[in-house]
Amino acid sequence: MSEKDKSWRIAYINGKFAPWKETDFWRIGIMKKMPVLLSLSIVMLLGIILTIFLK
């Protein structure tokens, strides 16, 4: 992954808070070619459909 695919967050590591660089989940795989809101909408609709069918 390139450096632009990573984001900073504060993590609790070894008993203290420290900055941690991690990859953004929504920027991995096929999702990196879509806008974030579109990919979140697809995941939400898939969840609703699965909820209805598996209810």
2-55 confidence digits (pLDDT tens): 555 566 777 787 888 888 776 666 566 666 677 878 888 988 999 999 999 998
What is d(CA 11, CA 28) in angstroms, rounded to the nearest whole number?
A: 21
What is d(CA 23, CA 18) in angstroms, rounded to the nearest whole number?
A: 16
Question: What integer pLDDT is reported at residue 4 of this predicted model?
Answer: 59
Q: Which residues lie below 8 Å from residue 9, measured CB to CB, with a gap of 6+?
A: 19, 20, 22
Q: What is the pTM of this model?
A: 0.47
